[in-house]
């Protein structure tokens, strides 16, 4: 099979099996953000096209949302597509966009039944209209839900987000709605896509890469980080739970001295 194409039988449609149960963790992170990396390498190791890995990776999300419910993690943010990912081949980008449409259409009811609330961050301008409509529907249908607050970063880049926020802030100054003398570090976050979310406590990146690739730059200033070797399609709810437990044992000092 050519690397460029994914055959219908490569599309992973079945979602994970029975839910695993976890005990709540005392001191669990309130907000976990995940850079879901390694789908391509996972597929390549199996001699399959990269999109096979993306489909396998998408399957993992539901299990992590379920684990969040048990563990007491209220906010989960996942990096699905970066502003830099347009640099990939047209086939991979189109395949990913089609996967997002399929995934949202398929998961909307399930997420709603779980009482999960879904939000999207990132710039929608470059996304296709059908995908935007599905995103809007998912956000609207889950807007009253008080379970896990799932945020999907799609066409998201931290620098792009700060630039878009600055543009709106500057417009408010120009319109006389904001006094530039009063701009401080509480002001900018109000203009970010994440303005309704708390900052992430724990940022996890899979696949062994120790970089943040433009994810939540402003918001993660004081996050704890975990870089794990597991490729995203192999990342399990158990591993997620272990990382949350290890987070609960960490000392966060925020620059102060704790005696
Ligand atoms: C992460 O997996 C998913 C996206 C960036 C969309 P990759 O596609 O980056 O997988 P690797 O890093 O090439 O293995
Ligand atoms: C970051 O992964 C983006 C997502 C997981 C969506 P990449 O695979 O795009 O990052 P780099 O290119 O390795 O830095
Ligand atoms: Mg990658």
What is the average per-residue pLDDT within 163-178? 98
pLDDT at 18: 77
Q: How confident is the model at residue 258 (pLDDT cuts 50, 70, 90)?
A: confident
What is the average per-residue pLDDT within 81-96? 98
For ligand 3, the distance from its centroid to the CA atom of residue 171, given in whole angstroms, is 36
Residue 95 has pLDDT above 50, yes or no: yes
Distance separating alpha carbons of residues 232 and 235, to the nearest angstrom: 5
Residue 85 known to be catalytic: yes
Residue whose CA is closest, atom 8 of ligand 1? 40
For ligand 3, the distance from its centroid to the CA atom of residue 40, given in whole angstroms, is 7
pLDDT at 175: 98
Q: How confident is the model at residue 236 (pLDDT cuts 50, 70, 90)?
A: very high
Q: Tell me if 64 CB under 6 Å of ligand 1.
A: no
Beta-carbon contacts of 52 under 8 Å, excluding residues fewer than 6 positions away, are: 6, 10, 12, 43, 46
Asked if 29 contacts 220 with a C-beta cutoff of 8 angstroms, the reply is: no
Nearest CA-CA partner of 244 in 221, 229, 228, 222: 228
Residue 1 has pLDDT above 50, yes or no: no
| Domains recognised in the chain with CATH numbers | 3-157+198-248 (3.40.1180.10)
Distances (CA, A) of 92 to 6, 52, 175, 224, 231: 10, 10, 42, 32, 18
Residue 13 has pLDDT above 60, yes or no: no
pLDDT at 19: 82
H-helix or E-strand spanning residue 155: strand 149-156
Helix, coil or strand: residue 91 = helix
Beta-carbon contacts of 59 under 8 Å, excluding residues fewer than 6 positions away, are: 12, 14, 15, 16, 233
For ligand 2, the distance from its centroid to the CA atom of residue 259, given in whole angstroms, is 39
Both tokens of residue 201? 């406590």
Beta-carbon contacts of 22 under 8 Å, excluding residues fewer than 6 positions away, are: 67, 70, 71, 237, 241
Q: Tell me if 209 CB under 6 Å of ligand 2.
A: yes
Residue entry with tokens 């096979």: 52
Nearest ligand, CA 81: 2
Distance separating alpha carbons of residues 258 and 247, to the nearest angstrom: 17
pLDDT at 3: 42
Using one digit for the tens of pLDDT, what is the confidence trace for 17-57? 678 899 999 999 999 999 999 999 999 999 999 999 999 99
């Amino acid at each position: 099979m050519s690397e460029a194409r994914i055959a219908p039988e490569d599309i992973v449609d079945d979602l994970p099996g029975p839910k695993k149960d976890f005990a709540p963790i005392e001191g669990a992170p309130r907000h976990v953000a995940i850079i879901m990396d390694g789908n391509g390498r996972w597929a390549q190791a199996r001699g399959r096209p990269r999109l096979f890995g993306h489909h396998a990776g998408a399957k993992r999300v539901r299990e992590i949302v379920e684990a969040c419910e048990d563990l007491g993690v209220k906010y989960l943010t996942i990096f699905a597509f970066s502003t830099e990912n347009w640099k990939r081949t047209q086939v991979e980008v189109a395949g990913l966009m089609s996967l997002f449409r399929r995934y949202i259409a398929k998961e909307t009811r399930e997420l709603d039944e779980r009482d999960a609330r879904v939000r999207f961050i990132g710039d929608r301008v470059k996304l296709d209209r059908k995908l935007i409509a599905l995103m809007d529907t998912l956000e609207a249908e889950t807007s009253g839900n008080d379970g896990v607050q799932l945020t999907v970063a799609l066409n998201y880049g931290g620098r792009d987000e700060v630039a878009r926020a600055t543009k709106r802030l500057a417009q408010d100054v120009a319109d006389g709605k904001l006094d530039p003398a009063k701009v401080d570090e509480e002001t900018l976050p109000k203009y970010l896509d994440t303005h309704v979310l708390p900052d992430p406590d724990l940022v996890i990146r899979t696949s062994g890469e120790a970089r943040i690739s433009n994810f939540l730059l402003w918001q993660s200033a004081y996050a704890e980080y975990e870089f794990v070797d597991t490729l995203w399609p192999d990342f399990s709810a158990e591993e997620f739970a272990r990382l949350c437990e290890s987070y609960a044992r960490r000392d966060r000092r925020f620059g102060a001295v704790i005696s």
